[in-house]
Structure 1
Amino acid sequence: MTVLPEACGLLVVRTGFSGQDAWQAVRAALGVTDEESFVEEFQDEVEVVNDPAYAGLTSDQLLALLPRGYTNPILVVVDSAALESAEMPVLVVDLVEERGRTFRVIPAELPSIQINLSIANMDFFEFADSADADGVFRGFGTS
């Protein structure tokens, strides 16, 4: 398997290929502005990998394919579960604190997670432990 591409920002890897319309909806949702208007900053920091060579790979398999020197604290996976849900909860994978730990997040909350982790304002567990009972983080105070 090919190593994931070098990236200056956050890698978002598509592993689910169940439908192009669903994929386009996730892509559009990743650009939704959150309450703090992080969308423009966030879009500039995202590298999307849309290659069928990564179809069906697990988060553990993707961890082994990260490029040397990738410094972002998380990896984002758009898998079949994200594409088949109306909420499009993408998988967030920890690369620092508990490497490989995961939770899902609705796309509108991803910029906040990325920014807070990249400046060490918050820790991965704070978001993961705040996910709802179904394992999806929808923001603080939504449970």
Structure 2
Amino acid sequence: MPLPQPDDLTSLVLRTDFGDDGAWDAVRAALDAAGEYPHATYVSELRFAGVGVQALMDEEAAADEDAQIIHIFLADAATMKDPGHPLLAVDLSDEPGRTFRLPAQWFPDVSANLSIANMDFAEFADAADGSGAFRGFDEG
């Protein structure tokens, strides 16, 4: 079954941890509060409970080219537990399976740039810090 398609000019945020509905509400609130405009298409379907990166890559590889998506953001157990709600960003196209963590505050910038193909996934992943999280570009 193919992954859901994000709304125009948004990124797909896929819930994979279903242990705490309040945490999911907090993740969505944090993402929505981080930007002026909607940047996320939220999907909360139990069929994605515990889904891993490899399963998502396999799903996309089997999908018709027109139905494939280039990147996805997972709201996994780490996202739900951390107060900064760092999503797991996953490349499904150029370097399938490459990931980095993305705190909610940075989501609108990354989502917008990826959605309009202004920047590539690798540019953000390459700028991740030692913990594997993107926290903006170091201008210094």
Q: TM-score, normalised by structure 2?
A: 0.83
Please give the root-mean-square deviation of Cα atoms over the aligned residues, in Å.
2.3
Unpaired runs of at least 5, structure 1 = none
Unpaired runs of at least 5, structure 2 = none
**Do the aligned residues in 2 keep the contact of 1:103 with 1:136 (CA within 8 Å)?**
yes
Aligned pair partner of 2:77 in 68, 80, 84: 80
Aligned residue in 1 for 2:4: 5
Change (3 A) 1:117 1:29: same
Q: Deviations over 1:34-75 (max 9, x none)?
A: 4xxxx31xx2x5321101221111012123334532354311
Aligned length: 135
Give distance in 1, aligned partners of 2:43 and 2:57. 14
Q: CA deviation at 1:8?
A: 3.6
Q: Deviations over 1:99-136 (max 9, x none)?
A: 22111101121121122123332221211111121111
2:32 is paired with a residue whose SS is: coil
Q: CA deviation at 1:90?
A: 0.3
**Do the aligned residues in 2 keep the contact of 1:22 with 1:83 (CA within 8 Å)?**
yes
Aligned pair partner of 2:54 in 60, 65, 76: 60
Identity of paired residues, percent?
A: 40
Amino acid paired to 2:23: A
* Greater helix share, structure number: 2
Alignment of 1:24 onto 2:25: yes
**Do the aligned residues in 1 keep the contact of 2:2 with 2:67 (CA within 8 Å)?**
no
Give distance in 2, aligned partners of 1:85 and 1:60. 23
Alignment of 1:46 onto 2:47: no
Give distance in 2, aligned partners of 1:22 and 1:106. 15
Runs of 4+ in 1 over 6 A off after TM superposition: none
Moved more, 129-138 or 69-78: 69-78
Q: TM-score, normalised by structure 1?
A: 0.81
Give distance in 1, aligned partners of 2:71 and 2:33. 19
Alignment of 1:116 onto 2:113: yes
**Do the aligned residues in 2 keep the contact of 1:72 with 1:118 (CA within 8 Å)?**
no
